Chains A and B, each alone.
Chain A
Amino acid sequence: MVILEKDNFEEEVLNSKGLVIVDFWSDGCEPCKALMPEVEALAEKYEGKVKFCKLNITKARRLAISQRVMGLPTILLYKDGAKIEEVTKDEAKAANIEAMIEKHI
């Protein structure tokens, strides 16, 4: 998975063609850490079709808020740089992330 920071978010996500998944997480967020291995497994499954990225919001809070993310875990799906769908909190489960991808692939 591509590790996002303030400096590369625009290039890797907003200026990127095709489908991009961004996993928003933080050091304090236990549900995020429980979910991460499943997102990594999806990244492998969809390799070459969907770009998977993760952003630790602890150092990029304003960036996350600019994407209208204010709660964790949240997974956003972008297409050609535009946010098209998301799952958050209780809905942020592997099965729902996969369903979201399948809808747009």
Chain B
Amino acid sequence: MENLYDVVIIGAGPAGLAAGLYSARAKMKTLILEKDKAGGQIVTTNEVANYPGSIDDATGPSLVARMVEQAESFGAERKKDEIVKVELQDKIKVVTGEKDVYKAKVVIIATGASPRYLGVPGERELTGKGVSYCATCDADFFTDLEVYVIGGGDTAVEEAMYLTKFARKVTVVHRRDELRAAKSIREKAFNNEKMAFIWDSVVEEIKGDGIVEKLVLKNKKTGEITEIDAPEEDGTFGIFPFVGYIPKSELFKDFLETDKGGYLITDPDMKTAVPGVFAAGDIRHKSLRQVVTAVADGAIAAVQAEKYIENTFEN
């Protein structure tokens, strides 16, 4: 069959790139499909301190650039296309993108996750107008301005500290009275002179005429509403929500098993219940969603894909 791939990987984040590297290195005809930039979520951050073996001061983009280089050096193809439909039940899988249709013996789903929205009025309208989920994209704009980071986990606090390199002041707004972030991260944050904290508070609304001008907070314990206005001399400020993630599993959840949060269920070999369909990375139900676990998933999926193809197609 013309243009039949051994392995088609959906998503070029760390999981997809690692799967591509292992798959191409095992001499399987491999295609990695990505709807926008290669690298996934990790290219939105400049602070990756915990990926073992990475160079000093590794950033998301630098880490990913090397992963892409490695996958391509073994012959993995990459294409920019957004997948909109999949038919995975049969022996030959069909994956349909906006630009083209792809056929494969194995599909590895590595579509990852995306930031969870706050879901408050004004948030969508003012995204790109002061509301941002991507520090590497937008930190520049907030040089010498004030920034509010929403959330209290590792990502929220680390991104807040990164933003202090640009912003005049960074205030973390958290719905509880203590941070969830790891102790080492917390201590650094409390020692950072540019950081401030607002506890027990959630965002009610974001307001502004074409640009962020006002943040409305509600104290969960007292019910009190506080309106924060942009300082007059600035005219605006930044809002970075980091309040968790949602899995990108819509295309698959009708025929693959998911957990309550919508994450795909696999066995320890990354197999889903459908033969020849694997899932890897943040899209999976698992306890730690990091680059180090994403690449491990990708490697396992590719090795299992090879075994599956040997057993199913060559005898």
- Determine chain B's interface SS by DSSP, over half rule: loop
Which residues of A are found within 8 Å of B137, using beta-carbon distances? Answer: 26, 28-32, 71-73
Within 8 A of B (CB), among A7-36: 26, 28-35
A-B contact pairs, 24 of them (CB 8 A): A26-B137, A28-B136, A28-B137, A28-B139, A29-B134, A29-B138, A30-B37, A31-B36, A31-B37, A31-B134, A32-B137, A33-B37, A34-B36, A34-B80, A35-B36, A61-B140, A68-B210, A70-B138, A70-B212, A71-B131, A71-B137, A72-B137, A72-B138, A88-B129
Interface residue? B39 (CB, 8 A): yes
B46–A28 CB distance below 8 A: yes
Cβ of A57 < 8 Å from any Cβ of B?
yes
By the criterion CB–CB under 8 Å, are A71 and B127 in contact?
yes
Interface residues on A, range: 20 to 34
Interface size class of B (residues with CB under 8 A): 20 to 34
**A99 beta carbon closer than 8 Å to chain B:** no
Q: How far is the CB of A72 from chain B (nearest CB, A)?
A: 5
What residues of B have a CB within 8 angstroms of the CB of A89 in the complex?
127-128
Cross-chain contact B37 with A70 (CB below 8 angstroms): no
B214 to A: closest C-beta gap in Å: 15
Flag if B128 contacts A88 (CB, 8 Å).
yes
- The reply to whether B36 and A71 contact each other, CB–CB distance below 8 Å, is no
What's the Cα separation between A93 and B84 when bound, in Å? 15
Distance in Å: Cβ of B163 to nearest Cβ of chain A = 13
The CA-CA distance from A84 to B138 in the complex, in Å, is: 23
Residues on B close to A: CB < 8 A? Answer: 36-39, 43-44, 46, 61, 80, 98, 127-132, 134, 136-141, 143, 210-212, 236, 238
Contact with B along A63-83 (1 / 0, CB 8 A): 011001111111000000000
Q: Which chain A positions have C-beta within 8 A of B138?
A: 29, 70-72
B141 touches A71 (CB 8 A): yes
Q: Is B129's CB under 8 angstroms from A71's CB?
A: yes
Cα separation A62 to B137 with both chains bound (whole Å): 16
- Docked pose: A26 CA to B143 CA in angstroms: 14
B128 near A30 with CB under 8 A, answer no
Residue of B whose beta carbon sits closest to that of A25: B137
Q: Are B210 and A28 in contact (CB under 8 A)?
A: no
Question: With A and B bound together, what is the CA distance between A89 and B98 in angstroms?
Answer: 19
The docked-state distance in angstroms from the alpha carbon of A35 to that of B141 is: 20
Known: A65-B141, A70-B141. A34 touches B37 (CB 8 A): yes
Contact yes or no, A30 B39, CB < 8 A: yes
**Measured between C-beta atoms, what is the minimum distance from A19 to chain B in Å?**
21
Residue A105 lies at the interface, judged by CB distance under 8 Å to chain B? no
Docked CA distance A89–B129 (Å)? 10
A-chain residues with CB within 8 Å of residue B98 when the two chains form the complex: 95
Contact B136–A65 (Cβ < 8 Å): no
Q: How far is the CA of A30 from the CA of B43 in the complex (A)?
A: 7
Given that A30-B37, A30-B61, A34-B38 are known contacts, is A71 also in contact with B128, CB under 8 Å in the complex? yes
Contact status A68-B61, CB under 8 Å? no
- Give CA–CA (A62, B143) in the complex, Å: 10
Q: Report yes or no: A61 in contact with B39, Cβ–Cβ below 8 A.
A: no
Least CB distance from A40 to B in Å reads 14
Q: How many whole Å from A101's CB to the nearest CB in chain B?
A: 18
Q: Which residue of chain A lies nearest to B34 when distances are taken between CB atoms in the complex?
A: A34
Closest chain B CB from A94 CB (angstroms): 9
Cβ-neighbour of B129 out of A31, A33, A70, A93 (below 8 A): A70
Bitwise, A40-64 to B at CB < 8 A (1) or not (0) is 0000000000000000011001001
Asked if B43 contacts A58 (CB within 8 A), the reply is no
CA distance A70 to B39 in the complex (A): 23
A57 to B137, alpha carbons, bound, how many Å?
11
B138's nearest neighbour on chain A, judged by CB, is A71
List of B residues within 8 angstroms of A71 by Cβ: 127-132, 134, 137-138, 141
Chain B residue nearest in CB terms to A28? B136
* Contact A88:B127 (CB < 8 A) given known A28-B46, A30-B43, A95-B98: yes
